[in-house]
Structures are given as structure tokens and as C-alpha cells.
Structure 1
Amino acid sequence: MQSRQPNRRQLIGRRGEDTAVEYLTAAGWSVLDRNWRCRYGEIDVVAVDPTDGGGGSLVIVEVKTRTGVMFGDPAQAVTPDKYRRLRRLAGLWLAESERHWPTIRFDVVAVRIDVAGVCTVSHLRGVF
């Protein structure tokens, strides 16, 4: 049985998610989950922002990665439908969690990869 090789889009997405996680952990965040999936979709990153609130806030992070400027800022790709889906997924993730989180936030981390392979990160907090 042959293993399936990831396509270019998957490789770019993985690189963007890896970059976003490196960015968040360098800022002191704890990553609790990556690529959490259920039948309704996927959450890219579930993390704790220790600077927000007494014990930190749970943050559901959507990562968007682009290699060019043709389609605008990567964060613009997060549509109202995606926001609704993320809220539902967050509720399902929380139902599986043993910890109670008094504060939950939704962020977008946009990663742009230039032609030289250099990543630029922009972080939008509390997008909805």
C-alpha cells in the first residue's frame, strides 16, 4: 500500500500552521491541540493566551496561509460561514475538555510566504 504524498496546497497549509504555532509559543502561549477534527470540520489550533485574564484565555485559532498577494490578505478568507462553523466546533471541543474556560476567544493568524520562502505573520485577536 502506497502512502499518499501531500500536494502543494497541503504543504503550504502545513508550513503556515507550523509558523503560526512557532509564533504563538514564542509569545508564551501553550498549544493544547492542533488540527482537531470531528465530523463537522477542523480547528487549526487550540491554545491558551496567558496574557489574557487571570488564568489565561482559551483561544480558537484559524490559520490562513497565502503565497501571493493576488487574493488579498489571508485573513480575508475567513468568511461568516467559517466563523459559524468555528463556533460550533469550539463547542464540541469544549464538550470533550475536562477544564472549564471562563474566557474563550477566536483569533486569526495570517501567514504570508514570499517568493524567497520567508514567512510574515499577522495576528488578529478577537475577530468575533
Structure 2
Amino acid sequence: MANLPPYHYPDIGHLGEDLVAQWLQSTGWIILHRRFSCRWGEIDIIAQHDGNAGEAGEHTSLREAAPTTALSNQESRKAVGELKTQHSLLAFVEVKTRSSGSWDAGGRSAITPQKQAKIWRTAEIFLAQCPEKADYSCRFDVAIVYCQRISKNPTGVTATQSDLATSLAAGYKFKLQEYILAAFDSSIDNG
């Protein structure tokens, strides 16, 4: 059998990122950017969650947080905006998609201090380009996706108890095996 040209093969990394983005959206996150890149590097997924920054699954109702004193429309909009900013969280997500027998512990050891520094600098560039998000809480997450070649080519996304999510695409089965919250230091110095 002849070797196929590289463009014939699916981009496994992008398919793994697709699974993670779909899973994040299903858990209440808004995907702001995919494959954000600058001279420092690339961030696979930038996602925002509005709600209690300490618990990414909880949402604060604007009605519950509305001030009890009478405010002008402008003051009300400003107060709601400050509340939303106070409870918004940005996640800069690095996705590692690997098959069995990977040399780097399923992608975990590929998140070196140098890689972390690149992601950190890229996040700073993103925040500089989106100053309205500069006051949001930020964290750096890592998603570990396992892929395995399958014989048939069905597509779809499902959730199982052992994996956070799975999908079938381009002849591969993808499993989101682990989602590591705040995988490395997220104290971005804006000063």
C-alpha cells in the first residue's frame, strides 16, 4: 500500500480540541477563541464562564445581585457590568491529544515550564487585545484527550462515566480522559 500524502490524514490535534470545546460548551462555558496565536505561541482554547468564579458550574442571577437602592439606568448597567466582571472566569486551555504508547505520559510531560511561559505570554497578549476582560479571573487548564483508530467512520459526541466525553470522527475515537483545572500558576502580572 502506498503512503498517503500528509494532507490526506486528519489533524488529530484539531479533532481533540473540537471534543474539548464541545464539552466545555456543554458545561456552560463560552468559547471565545480557538487557536489564538501571536508571536509568543498559541493557545488552543480560550473560554469564558460567567458566574461564581470559584465554582465554574454555578451562575449568579443578575436579579439576585441587583442593588436594592434606586439607580439610574447608566448606574445600573455599570453595576451589572462590574458584577459580571467580578464573577467571570477565563480559562486558557492547552489540549494534548495522544494515542496509546505516547512517549510523554499522554501529553502531561509536554507542558514544560517553557511551554507554560509561552502560554502565559500569549494569554497576556490576548488580554491586551481584549482590555474589557483584563479584570476577569484567569486560570490555565490542561485537557488530556486519548485517540484510537477505529475501523468504521461514524461521527458523534457521547458522554460516559469513565470519560468526561467521547467522540467519533475521521476514523478515530476520541476520549476526554482528564481535565486538569489550574494546571499551572495563573497569577498573571498585569503591572
TM-score band (shorter)?
A: 0.7 to 0.9
Name the structure 1 match of 2:143: 109
Query: What is the root-mean-square deviation in Å for CA atoms of aligned residues?
Result: 2.1
Superposition TM-score, scaled by structure 1 size = 0.85
SS, match of residue 122 in structure 2:
helix
1:126 aligns to what?
182
Give 1:70 shift. 3.1
Q: Is the 8 A contact 2:148 2:173 kept in 1?
A: yes
Q: Once the 2 structures are TM-superposed, how far is the Cα of residue 127 of structure 1 from its aligned partner? A: 1.0
Amino acid aligned to 1:113: C
1:27 CA drift (Å): 1.0
Structure 2 Cα separation of the partners of residues 51 and 114 of structure 1: 36
Deviation at 1:111, TM superposition (A): 0.7
Bigger Cα displacement from structure 2, 116-125 vs 45-54: 45-54
2:182 aligns to what SS in structure 1?
coil
Per-residue deviation, 1:92? 0.7
- Which runs of at least 4 in structure 1 moved beyond 4 Å after TM superposition? none
Cα distance change, pair 6–96 in 1 and its aligned pair in 2 (3 A): farther
C-alpha distance in 1, partners of 2:143/2:7? 22
The aligned amino acid for 2:122 is L
For residue 123 of structure 2, the aligned residue among 90, 93, 98 is 90
Map of 2:35 onto structure 1: 35
Answer whether contact 2:90 2:139 (CA < 8 A) is retained.
Answer: yes
CA displacement, residues 7-56 of structure 1 (integer Å, 9 cap, x when unaligned): 64x71111111111011111110000111111221111110134551522
Matches within 5 A, 1:1-128: 6=7, 8=9, 11-50=11-50, 52-53=52-53, 55-71=87-103, 72-99=105-132, 100-116=134-150, 117-121=172-176, 122-128=178-184
2-side partners of 1:89 and 1:104: how far apart?
13
1:76 offset after TM fit, Å? 2.5
Task: Give the aligned residue type for 2:41.
Answer: G
- Contact 1:57 1:101 (8 Å CA) reproduced: no
Separation in structure 1 between the aligned mates of residue 121 and residue 110 of structure 2, nearest angstrom: 18
CA contact (8 A) 1:74 1:112 kept: no
Structure 1 stretches lacking a partner, 5+ long? none
Percent of aligned positions that are identical: 31
C-alpha distance in 2, partners of 1:89/1:7?
31
Say which is worse superposed, 69-78 or 88-97, in terms of deviation.
69-78
The amino acid across from 1:29 in the alignment is W
* Uncovered stretches (5+) of structure 2, i.e. residues with no partner: 1-5, 54-85, 151-171, 185-191
TM-score (norm 2): 0.59
Larger Rg over CA atoms: 2
